Amino acid sequence: MGPLLLIGGHEAPRGAALEAFATLAGKGGRIALLTAATEDPDAALRRYRETFGRLGLGEVLHISAQGRSDCAQREAAQAVEDADGIFFTGGDQLRITSLVGGTPVEAAIHAARSRGAVVGGTSAGASAMTDTMLVGGQDEEAARRASIRMCPGLGLLRAAVVDQHFAQRGRINRLIAALAQNPGILGIGIDENTAILVRDGTRLEVLGEGTVTILDGRGTEVVEASEQDVDRPVALGSVALWVLRQGYAFDLDRRMPPHTPSLAGKTSAVPVLR
């Protein structure tokens, strides 16, 4: 199973997140770039061709996906399935699932990952990778049932919902509202120029200059979120919270970090890219 790399947006061209993606795809690796999320695919293509070229990657194949018919093309699906790395740009995550979901290109993404290809995405491209996808909501307001919208994502990361631009846009209440509706999932908030690297579907590693906030509501004792009163603030108690920076890891099965950093600020959970 290939790794997942989810970036919180505004990643540096030579930062830890994209360097990790290049390392995992391999020198000279072929990249399938999916621009379904953006309204300016040509600009996104120019940017990532230049960035990936500087990082030592090879050919960047553009999967424009501006309509569902594009994702039904055998040539597009084959290019995705044969790629060493697959990358989703930012934009609007609902465009990704509505244009790619249920098509041969989506099947090719899962097939490529099954044989070991790395799948990455930034901003909307990160949010779309989970099985439950956060598609919108108000920043910096009380957590309410009506403050967010969720729908099915691509299902590459299970039992989680991801929000991006997290600290920069004050989005913790969006995750709280998501957990109030489904306490069994993990809420993962990723800051800008920061990423999570998920290996083997179980080990999450933090990369980049910001932090990753993880909320686990399975042990909550109080949940009050009503469909009949969607504008009323939710009530949620006993939520486990972790805020992790680069070098820290998190076990998605056990739902806790595998190691505790020393008082000297070092940790045995420093990721080693292979």
Domain CATH for 206: 3.40.50.880
Write down the catalytic residue from 11, 106, 123, 192.
123
Beta bridge partners of 136: 149
- Asked if residue 163 is part of any domain, the answer here is no
Alpha-carbon distance 204 to 76, whole Å? 30
Q: Which of the following is catalytic: 141, 224, 259, 268?
A: 141
Q: In total, how many domains does the chain have?
A: 1
In 3-state terms, what secondary structure has residue 60?
Answer: strand
Helices (H) and strands (E) in the chain, counts: 7, 16
In a domain, 91, yes or no: yes
Position 219 in a domain: no
The DSSP result for 166-219, as a single string, is TTTTT-HHHHHHHHHH-TTSEEEEE-TTEEEEEETTTEEEEEESSEEEEEE-TT
| CA gap 169, 213 in Å, rounded | 13
Residue 50 inside a domain? The answer is yes
pLDDT of residue 177: 86
Task: Tell me if 44 is assigned to some domain.
Answer: yes
List the chain residues with pLDDT less than 70.
Answer: 137-147, 222-230, 259-274
Which domain, by its residues, includes 37? 4-142+149-158+195-210+241-251
Q: Is residue 57 in a domain?
A: yes
- Set 11, 81, 106, 165: catalytic member: 165
Would residue 122 count as lying in a domain? yes
- Regarding pTM above 0.85, the answer is yes
CA distance linking residue 40 with residue 208, whole number of Å: 26
For the question of residue 127 being annotated catalytic, the response is: no
Q: Does residue 220 belong to any structural domain of this protein?
A: no
Residue 141 annotated among the catalytic residues of the structure? yes
Residue 148: per-residue pLDDT: 77
pLDDT tens-digit map of 33-84: 999 999 999 999 999 999 999 999 999 999 988 899 999 999 999 999 999 9
- What pLDDT, on a 0 to 100 scale, did the predictor assign at position 147? 63
Q: Which of 261, 89, 273 is nearest to 199 (CA)?
A: 273
